[in-house]
Amino acid sequence: QVQLVESGGGLVQAGGSLRLSCAASGSTSSINAMGWYRQAPGKQRELVASITSDDRINYADSVKGRFTISRDYAKNTVYLQMSSLKPEDTAVYFCNYKRLTYTWVDYWGQGTQVTVSS
């Protein structure tokens, strides 16, 4: 199993910045992806950004140019630097870990609230 611990959420004014962190532990694998999803009330969970173990990165169109995802492999930690935050970024942000062993398996953090005031 993989355990994910998230931190860094909070309340920020529009135009401000936050950095989210997610540390993975347990049965991690060398072939994997880590990323961030978010879910606002009444909406489906959506991918925000992801980064694979060979450093391929994907961003949602809505956050390109504002958010940056990165990994610290020594600490098994993924970060999401969020800048120029907008009220529509308000959501619960979930850390995600995809592990390849015999097949792809998803693991999820508990989520951290990000609120951007208008």
Kindly report the backbone phi and psi dihedral angles of residue 93, in degrees, each rounded to the nearest multiple of 5, phi listed first.
Answer: -100, 130
pLDDT tens digits, one per residue of 16-54:
999 999 999 998 888 899 999 999 999 999 999 999 999
**Distance separating alpha carbons of residues 118 and 108, to the nearest angstrom:** 29
CA distances from 78 to 39, 40, 44 (A): 19, 21, 23
What does the alpha-carbon distance between residue 76 and residue 27 come to, in Å, rounded to a whole number? 11
Place 102 in a pLDDT band, splitting at 50, 70 and 90: confident
